[in-house]
Amino acid sequence: MKETGRVEAFSDGVFAIAITLLVLDLKVPTQPPLLAGLLAQWPVYAAYLISFAFILIMWVNHHWMLGHIVRVDGMFMLLNGLLLLGITVVPFPTNVVAQYVLTPDQNVATAVYTGWFLMIALFFNLLWRYAARGGRLLSKDDHEAGLARVVSARYRWGGPAYLAAFVLSFIWVPAALALSFLLAVFYALPHEMTLPGETASVRPAHPA
């Protein structure tokens, strides 16, 4: 327990810093008029929004995952390190897509962006599958309740969906970006998932 607490605190720190550093991609226009300059960089804001939602959702899911893990080992630390590597880099492809999405290089830029999300989704799945295989790092109760199967099914579509966004990047950039955003919103709703026999993690509000 204590061991997972440490990993969790460090990972939380990295997520919180990475999500806040995104603001450094927002540059003040150097040429007046200001309003036109601000409006002209709408791709920067769109990329900011997508990346913010992506990191936030990854944090929610990472936190949820660690809440079900009761021990860690060296391989878990390594795979978690890979995931954190992925997260810390996010401001870079965000900046790439923001600066090139309105240029002839827009396909490459979007592919770098969605490709990086795909990579992170793979790291995340790798981490979860390692922890859950045979109940390796789960509590006995969670393992017997079939948690791994239910959750793995849920995460199964993350990889292919981001792969689709990656492929779309070469065909139709707006669709690739829209899909990336929708995926973040979809994964933003992790609490719908309850196991048979498990009490919901969110208690209903008491009647007013």
Q: What is the DSSP letter of 44?
A: H
- From the list 82-90, 121-129, 155-163, 168-176, the region that binds a copy of itself by CB under 8 A is 82-90
- Number of residues forming the site for a copy of itself (CB under 8 A): 75
> How many whole angstroms separate alpha carbon 165 and alpha carbon 118?
8
Q: Which of residues 4-33 bind a copy of itself (CB under 8 A)?
A: 6, 9-10, 12-24, 26, 28, 32-33
Residues 6+ apart with CB under 8 A from 168: 114, 175, 176, 179
Q: Could you say which of 135, 150, 152, 164 contacts a copy of itself (CB under 8 A)?
A: 135
> How many whole angstroms separate alpha carbon 140 and alpha carbon 51?
36
Q: Which of residues 139-168 bind a copy of itself (CB under 8 A)?
A: 140, 143
Q: Which of residues 86-125 bind a copy of itself (CB under 8 A)?
A: 88-92, 95-96, 99-100, 103-105, 108-109, 112
What is the nearest approach in angstroms of a copy of itself to the Cβ of residue 197? 20
Q: Could you say which of 155, 167, 190, 195 contacts a copy of itself (CB under 8 A)?
A: 190
Question: Could you say whether residue 191 binds a copy of itself (CB under 8 A)?
Answer: yes
Q: Could you say which of 40, 42, 85, 170 contacts a copy of itself (CB under 8 A)?
A: 85
> How many whole angstroms separate alpha carbon 148 and alpha carbon 59?
19
SS3 69: strand
Sign of the CA dihedral with 202 first, then 203, 207, and 208 last: negative
Q: Could you say which of 38, 164, 175, 182 contacts a copy of itself (CB under 8 A)?
A: 38
Q: What is the Cβ-side half-sphere exposure of residue 144, based on CA atoms within 13 angstroms?
A: 4
